[in-house]
Amino acid sequence: MRKIKICGLFRDCDIDYVNEARPDFIGFVFAKSRRQVSVVWAEAMRPRLKSEITPVGVFVNESLEKVAKLLNDNTIEMAQLHGDENENYIRELKTLTNKPIIKAVRVLSEEDIVSGQHTVADFLLLDNGAGGTGESFDWSLVSQVKNQEQNQKPFFLAGGLMADNLEQAILATSPYAVDLSSGVETDGLKDRAKILEIVRRMHNG
């Protein structure tokens, strides 16, 4: 059973939708985005979230102190880094908290995936780098790297995933988890029926 993350929750009802569907992870976007949420809102929503759902905070070049505080306050349980955060940043964050860290990798070539293997982060997130646009990258690059690298870091697959291509994406890449945002939206808002259907398919498949 593959794990699934529903990212970019920003309305109170989105919390109701995921509580009903019970994905493995959800994402609060603290970086500038149309789905950006405030710390105050995330702190208010956190107690409402079912205990078996892991909240992930999405950041771009955020201060170490802010990320560590959100992790140590248990507002989020994992940090997902999408900016220019280097290995020194990730190491320092690890000294400030014992929570897992996901480093996003923009995949344009095999080399991007290979170099990502050397991070001290716990997981990678592979996407096209555009973030929430619903566009995917060339999934065949993942299998090409898998043939070369024996010890691959577990990764979240993101970018352009939706009900129509999810099975194909999983077969092509064998991810630790899939990460959907625009793929479970209608007119830019999270769609309860799409979330319920996609999580059901993932957990029953």
Residue 7 annotated to the active site: yes
- Nearest partner of 10 among 55, 61, 45, judged by Cα: 45
Residue 13 annotated to the active site: no
CA 24 to chain CA mean position, Å:
11
Phi-psi region of 81 (alpha: psi -120 to 50; beta: other; left: phi over 0): beta
Provide the token pair at 123: 């997981």
- Nearest partner of 82 among 162, 179, 13, judged by Cα: 179
Select which of 7, 14, 24, 179 is catalytic.
Answer: 7
Select which of 14, 24, 127, 179 is catalytic.
Answer: 127
d(CA 36, CA 28): 7
Work out the number of other CB atoms within 10 angstroms of the CB of residue 53.
Answer: 18
Provide the token pair at 102: 């996901």
How many CA atoms, within 13 angstroms, populate the side-chain half-sphere of residue 170? 18
User: Which active-site residues does the annotation give?
Assistant: 7, 127
